[in-house]
C-alpha cells in the first residue's frame, strides 16, 4: 500500500477502505509517513468529507493508537462530559462535583481534560490557578481518587491518543480544523479512550464556537453520538448557545471563583441553568433515575452546599489549597485593571464572542501555542452581557492583566467586540436541541 494512492483516492472523492485508514494512522504514528503527505490527505478529507463508516474507522484507529483507560474497577457507572469549546465555559468544573454529590457510590466522574488554545479556555488551566492542584495523577491514583470521592479531573495522560496529538498539531497549521469528520474523530477517539460508559457532549454553536450554525452543530453531534453508541457507550449531545460568553467571568482564576459562587448558589442565571441542565442530563443518561429526579438532585446539591463541599473534597484529594474555596480572593489576583464603559445609552446588542476570547488570551490568559505560559490572574469580568441595558458611561466590563501592553491590547480587542443598539435585541435560548440515538429533539 502507498500513501500516495490513499491521497489520490480521497482527492478524487473515493471512499477509503478500513485498511487504507489503518495504514495512514498507524504509519503516521510510527513516524513512517511524513507530515506533508498527511497534510495533503487531511486537506483532501476537508474538501471531500468522509462517510460514516470512514469516520468511525478513523476514530477507532486513533483511539487504539495509544493507551485506553480501563475504568472497570470502579463499582458503578462511569460518566464523562465534554464541551467542544467556548468562552467563559467553566461548566465542567461545576458539573464534576455536582454529579459526585448527586449520586454518591452510583455514578463516578473520571474526567480527563485539556488546555485552552486560541480563543477557547481549557479546564486544566483553570484548575491550575488553584495553588498546589495536581492535574497529573498517575492512572491508578486517578482511579483511586474517583473511587474515594466520586470524581477527579486530570490532564490527558501522556500516551492517550497520540494520533490526535500529531494530527491536531498539523490541522492547526494547515487550515483543516473546522471539518466535521476530523473534529468528530478527534473528540470521540479521546472520549472513548478515556473509558467512561456514559458521555455527554456539549456542542457549542455561535460566534464563540467552532460550529457557527445550528445545522452544522447538529451534524457534528449526530456523527459523534453514532460513533459512541456504535461502540456500546451511551452518548447524548446538547446543542448550546455560544453567541455570548457563559456566565460573567472569562479567564482562569476568575472562572474558578465564579464556579465557587455558582456552587454556593450565587452564580449567574445562565451558568447555573446550564450546569444544572448538563449534570441532570448526564445522571439521567446513566439510567439510575428519571430526568426530573436528576434535576431535583442537581438543584438540591447546590441548595444544601453538598456540591461545594464535594469540590473542596476533590481539590484536597488532588493536593490543592482548599482555603480558596472559602475565600476566592486567595486565588491569583492581577496587579492591573481597566474598566470599559458604554459609549451610549441602549442595550448590548451583539457580542463577537470569539473576539472576547481572543481579548482574554491577549490579556495573558490564553496561548497561541500549546506550550506557551499563561497568566492565571488575567481575564475579563463582564458586568453587562448580551441583551442587558446600559447607560452612557456605565461600566460594561473590568479587564485584568499584569502587563500594561497586554492590558491595552486586550482592551482594544474587547471594545471592538461589543456592539450597542437602541432597541432590546431578541432573547436567545441557551439550548437549541438535544441529539440522542433516537434522533434530534429541538428545544
CB of 368 to ligand URA, least distance (A): 16
Q: Please give the order of strands across the beta sheet that includes 389-390.
A: 389-390, 346-351, 418-421
126 strand-pairing partners: none
| Nearer to ligand URA among residue 187 and residue 397 (C-beta) | 187
Grid coordinates representing 96 are: 464534576
User: How many chain residues touch ligand URA (CB under 6 A)?
Assistant: 8
Decide if residue 186 touches ligand URA (CB under 6 A).
yes
Region near ligand URA per CB under 6 A, out of 66-74, 178-186, 289-297, 315-323: 178-186
CA 302 distance to own-chain centroid: 22
Active site residue 147: no
Q: Does 183 bind ligand URA (CB under 6 A)?
A: yes
Name the grid cell of 427.
432573547
**CB-nearer residue toward ligand URA: 235 or 399:** 235
Is 186 one of the catalytic residues?
A: yes
The active-site residue out of 67, 164, 202, 270 is 164
x-marked contacts with ligand URA along 192-221 as a string, rule CB under 6 A: ------------------x-----------
Instruction: List, in order, residues 6 or more apart from 200 with CB less than 8 Å away.
Output: 79, 80, 81, 82, 235, 236, 237, 238, 278, 281, 282, 285
Query: Is 171 in the active site?
Result: yes
Contact with ligand URA (CB under 6 A) among 85, 181, 208, 267 = 85
Q: Which is nearer to ligand URA, 190 or 297 (CB)?
A: 190
Note whether 116 binds ligand URA by CB under 6 A: no
Instruction: For residue 146, state whether it binds ligand URA (rule: CB under 6 A).
Output: no
Does 187 contact ligand URA by CB under 6 A? yes
Beta strands in 305-387 (DSSP E): 336-341, 346-351, 379-382
Rounded Cα–Cα distance for residues 136 and 129 (Å) = 14
Indicate the residue among 56 and 84 with the shorter CB distance to ligand URA: 84
Q: Which stretch in 86-94, 124-132, 179-187, 302-310 sits in contact with ligand URA by CB under 6 A?
A: 179-187
**Which residues have C-beta within 8 Å of that of residue 242, sequence separation ≥ 6?**
86, 87, 89, 204, 205, 206, 207, 208, 209, 353
* Closer of 177 and 430 to ligand URA (Cβ): 177
Catalytic residue among 90, 111, 119, 171: 171
Sign for the pseudo-dihedral over CA of 269, 270, 272, 278? positive
- For residues 392, 395, 396, 401, the Cα torsion angle rounded to the nearest 10 degrees is 140
> Please, which residue, 177 or 398, has the CB nearer to ligand URA?
177
Is there a contact between 86 and 120 (Cβ–Cβ < 8 Å)?
yes
From 83, 185, 186, 360, the catalytic residue = 186
3-state SS, residue 30: coil
Q: Single out the residue of 55, 56, 84, 240 in contact with ligand URA (rule: CB under 6 A).
A: 84
Output the smallest distance, CB 28 to ligand URA, in A: 16
Q: Is 82 one of the annotated active-site residues of the chain? A: yes
Q: Which residue is nearest to ligand URA (CB)?
A: 186
Q: How far apart are CA 198 and CA 356, in angstroms?
A: 33
Of 10, 67, 80, 82, which residue is the catalytic one? 82
- From the list 125-133, 145-153, 180-188, 252-260, the region that binds ligand URA by CB under 6 A is 180-188
Active site residue 367: no
What is the secondary structure of 397-437 as a DSSP string?
A: EEEEESSHHHHHHHHHHHHHHEEEESSPPPP--SEEEEEET
Catalytically active residues are 82, 164, 171, 186, 190
Q: Which residues bind ligand URA (CB under 6 A)?
A: 84-85, 177, 182-183, 186-187, 210
Amino acid at each position: 500500500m502507498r500513501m500516495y494512492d490513499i491521497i489520490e483516492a480521497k482527492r478524487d472523492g473515493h471512499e477509503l477502505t478500513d485498511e487504507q485508514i489503518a495504514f495512514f494512522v498507524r504509519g503516521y504514528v510510527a513516524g513512517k509517513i511524513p507530515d506533508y503527505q498527511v497534510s495533503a490527505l487531511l486537506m483532501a478529507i476537508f474538501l471531500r468529507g468522509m462517510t460514516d463508516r470512514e469516520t468511525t474507522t478513523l476514530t477507532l484507529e486513533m483511539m487504539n493508537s495509544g493507551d485506553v483507560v480501563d475504568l472497570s474497577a470502579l463499582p458503578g457507572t462511569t460518566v464523562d462530559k465534554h464541551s467542544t469549546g467556548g468562552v467563559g465555559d467553566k461548566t465542567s468544573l461545576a458539573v464534576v462535583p455536582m454529579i459526585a454529590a448527586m449520586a454518591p457510590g452510583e455514578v463516578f466522574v473520571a474526567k480527563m481534560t485539556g488546555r485552552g488554545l486560541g480563543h477557547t479556555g481549557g479546564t486544566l488551566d483553570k484548575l491550575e490557578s488553584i495553588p498546589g492542584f495536581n492535574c497529573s495523577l498517575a492512572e491508578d491514583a486517578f482511579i483511586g481518587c474517583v473511587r474515594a470521592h466520586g470524581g477527579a479531573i486530570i490532564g490527558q495522560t501522556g500516551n492517550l491518543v497520540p494520533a490526535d496529538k500529531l494530527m491536531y498539531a498539523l490541522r492547526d497549521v494547515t487550515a483543516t480544523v473546522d471539518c466535521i469528520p476530523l473534529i468528530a474523530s478527534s473528540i470521540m477517539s479521546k472520549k472513548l479512550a478515556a473509558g467512561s460508559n456514559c458521555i455527554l457532549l456539549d456542542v457549542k454553536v455561535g460566534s464563540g464556537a467552532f460550529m457557527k450554525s445550528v445545522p452544522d452543530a447538529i451534524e457534528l453531534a449526530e456523527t459523534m453520538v453514532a460513533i459512541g453508541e456504535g461502540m456500546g457507550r451511551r452518548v447524548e449531545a446538547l446543542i448550546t448557545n455560544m453567541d455570548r460568553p457563559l456566565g460573567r467571568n472569562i479567564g482562569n482564576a476568575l472562572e474558578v471563583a465564579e464556579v465557587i459562587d455558582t456552587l454556593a448558589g450565587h452564580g449567574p442565571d445562565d451558568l447555573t441553568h446550564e450546569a444544572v441542565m448538563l449534570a441532570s442530563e448526564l445522571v439521567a443518561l446513566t439510567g439510575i433515575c428519571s430526568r426530573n429526579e436528576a434535576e431535583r438532585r442537581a438543584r438540591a446539591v447546590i441548595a444544601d452546599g453538598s456540591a461545594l463541599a464535594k469540590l473542596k473534597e476533590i481539590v484536597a484529594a488532588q493536593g490543592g489549597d482548599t482555603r480558596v474555596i472559602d475565600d476566592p480572593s486567595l486565588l491569583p489576583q492581577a496587579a492591573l485593571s481597566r474598566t470599559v464603559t458604554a459609549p451610549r445609552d441602549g442595550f448590548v446588542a451583539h457580542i463577537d464572542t470569539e473576539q472576547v476570547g481572543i481579548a482574554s488570551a491577549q490579556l495573558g490568559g490564553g496561548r497561541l501555542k500549546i506550550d506557551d505560559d499563561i497568566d492565571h490572574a488575567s481575564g475579563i469580568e463582564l458586568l453587562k452581557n448580551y441583551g442587558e441595558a446600559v447607560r452612557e458611561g456605565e461600566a460594561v466590563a473590568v479587564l485584568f492583566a499584569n502587563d500594561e501592553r497586554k492590558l491595552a491590547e486586550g482592551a482594544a480587542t474587547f471594545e471592538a467586540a461589543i456592539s450597542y443598539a437602541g432597541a432590546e435585541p431578541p432573547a436567545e435560548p441557551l439550548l437549541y436541541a438535544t441529539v440522542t440515538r433516537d434522533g434530534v429533539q429541538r428545544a
